[in-house]
Amino acid sequence: MFQKTAESYRQGARTLAREAYTSGEIFAFEQERIFARHWNCVGRASRLARAGDYIVRSVAGESIVVVRGQDGRIRAFFNVCRHRGTRLCSEEAGRFDRVIQCPYHAWTYTTEGALVGAPHMHDVEGFDRADYPLHVAEVAEHDGFVFVNMASPPPPFAKWFAPLADRFRRFGLAALEVGHRADYDVQANWKLVFENYSECLHCLVIHPELASRLPYESGANDLVEGPFLGGYMIIADPHESVTVTGRVCGLPISADLTADDRRRAYYYSVMPNLLVSIHPDYVNYYLLTPLGPGRTRVESEWLFRKPSFNPSDAIAFWDLVNRQDWHIIEQSQQGIASRRYVPGPYSPRESISAAWDREYLRLMNEVEK
**pLDDT reported for residue 367:** 64
290 and 253 inside one domain: yes
Both 96 and 171 in one domain: the answer is no
Domain boundary among 126, 149, 172: 149
2 confidence band (pLDDT: 50, 70, 90): very low
| Domains of the chain: total | 2
pLDDT (tens digit, 9 = 90+) per residue, 44-70? Answer: 999 999 999 999 999 999 999 999 999
Domain enclosing residue 107, as ranges: 40-149
Is 179 inside any structural domain?
Answer: yes
Q: Is residue 157 part of a domain?
A: no
Task: Grade residue 369 by pLDDT with cuts at 50, 70 and 90.
Answer: low
CATH number at residue 355: 3.90.380.10
Whether 156 is covered by a domain: the verdict is: no
Q: What is the pLDDT of residues 222-245, one digit of tens each?
A: 999 999 999 999 999 999 999 999
My answer on whether 137 and 174 are in the same domain is no
* Claim to verify: residue 84 and residue 224 sit in the same structural domain: no
Give the tens place of pLDDT for each residue, 250-305.
999 999 999 999 999 999 999 999 999 999 999 999 999 999 999 999 999 999 99
pLDDT digits (tens, 9 = 90+) for 339-368: 999 999 999 999 999 999 999 999 999 866
Q: What is the pLDDT of residue 4?
A: 38
* Whether residue 44 sits in one domain with residue 32: no
Kindly report the three-state secondary structure assignment for every residue of the chain: CCECHHHHCCCCCECCCCHHHHCHHHHHHHHHHHHCCCCEEEEEHHHHCCCCEEEEEEECCEEEEEEECCCCCEEEEECCCCCCCCCCCCCCEEECCCEEECCCCCCEEECCCCEEECCCHHHCCCCCHHHCCCCEEEEEEECCEEEEECCCCCCCHHHHHHHHHHHHHHHCHHHCEEEEEEEEEECCCHHHHHHHHCCCCCHHHHCHHHHHHCCCCCCEEEECCCCEEEEEEECCCCCCCCCCCCCCCCCCCCCCCCCCHHHEEEEEEECCCEEEEECCCCEEEEEEEEEECCEEEEEEEEEECCCCCCCHHHHHHHHHHHHHHHHHHHHHHHHHCCCCCCCCECCHHHHHHHHHHHHHHHHHCCCCC
State the CATH number of the domain containing residue 135: 2.102.10.10
What is the per-residue pLDDT across 83-108, written as a single tens digit (0 to 9) for each? Answer: 999 999 999 999 999 999 999 999 99
Straight-line distance from the first to the last Cα atom of the chain, in angstroms, rounded to the nearest whole number: 34
Reference 346, options 105, 33, 9, 25; nearest CA is 9
Give yes or no: residues 267 and 285 share one domain: yes
Tell me whether residue 155 is in a domain: no
Same domain, yes or no, for 27 and 89?
no
User: Distance (Å, rounded) from C-alpha 321 to C-alpha 299?
Assistant: 14
| Rounded-to-integer distance, Cα 316 and Cα 204, Å | 19
Q: Quick check: is 57 in a domain?
A: yes
User: 44 and 23 in one domain?
Assistant: no
* Assigned domain for 89 exists: yes
Q: Is 186 within the bounds of a domain?
A: yes
Do 247 and 175 lie in one domain? The reply is yes
226 and 358 in a single domain? The answer is yes
Same domain flag for 179 and 144: no
| Residue range 1-7: mean pLDDT, rounded | 38
pLDDT given for residue 306 in this prediction: 86
Which residue among 149, 174, 192 closes a domain?
Answer: 149
Domain assignment of residue 154, yes or no: no
**How far apart are alpha carbons 219 and 264 in whole angstroms?**
9
112 and 196 part of one domain: no
pLDDT by residue (tens digit) across 316-345? Answer: 999 999 999 999 999 999 999 999 999 999
Boundary (domain end) residue, out of 95, 124, 149: 149
pLDDT at 6 over 50: no
